[in-house]
């Protein structure tokens, strides 16, 4: 993850070199990781029924309808949005192929905004408060979670006001 971020910034370094540098920068965190901290999920996997925690990877999302023909030979070009089915069409196609293991959308997966203007207003308000998330993310990576929690609470409040 860090090497990808660095590459996006124009810095190319091997994973080993980045790992050594990170270990030197924050020794207690590195020791905790070596001893297994944060390597295990504290909540064990639990699926109440088949399809409860359905996951589709990128290949499955792309290999529907017309994109199947493009993806079959390892299409290098970007697939335009017009060729991809809408969410409801993709759900219908999935139900036809896989049965009814796909659950009906809930409020969790719904867009909370009534229109595009409300969404833009919320994004603008959030960006005026948190114009740069690098500091928030840097604190989170270094196990100081308070700025991230405050940022998330602010995002929820803004969404409630603008939706």
Answer whether residue 16 shows pLDDT above 70. yes
68-97, pLDDT tens digit by residue?
555 556 655 666 777 777 777 777 777 777
pLDDT of 18: 83
Residue 86 to residues 40, 55, 65, 155, Cα–Cα distance (Å): 36, 18, 11, 27
32-71, pLDDT tens digit by residue?
777 766 556 666 666 676 656 655 554 444 444 555 555 5
pLDDT of 126: 92
Rounded (10°) CA dihedral 50, 56, 60, 62: 140
Q: What average pLDDT score do residues 137-141 get?
A: 87
């Amino acid at each position: 993850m860090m090497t990808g971020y660095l590459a996006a910034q124009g810095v190319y370094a091997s994973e080993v070199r980045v790992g050594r540098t990170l270990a030197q920068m924050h020794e207690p965190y590195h020791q905790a990781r070596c001893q297994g901290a944060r390597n295990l999920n504290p909540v064990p996997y639990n699926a109440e029924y088949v399809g409860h925690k359905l996951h589709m990877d990128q290949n499955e999302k792309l290999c529907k309808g017309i994109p199947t023909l493009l993806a079959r030979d390892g299409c290098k070009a970007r697939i335009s949005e017009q060729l991809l089915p809408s969410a409801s069409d993709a759900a219908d196609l999935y139900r036809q192929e896989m049965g009814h293991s796909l659950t009906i959308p809930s409020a969790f997966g719904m867009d909370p905004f009534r229109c595009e203007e409300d969404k833009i207003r919320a994004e603008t308000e959030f960006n005026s408060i948190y114009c740069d998330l690098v500091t928030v993310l840097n604190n989170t990576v270094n196990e100081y979670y308070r700025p991230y929690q405050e940022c998330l609470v602010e995002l929820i409040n803004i969404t409630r006001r603008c939706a």
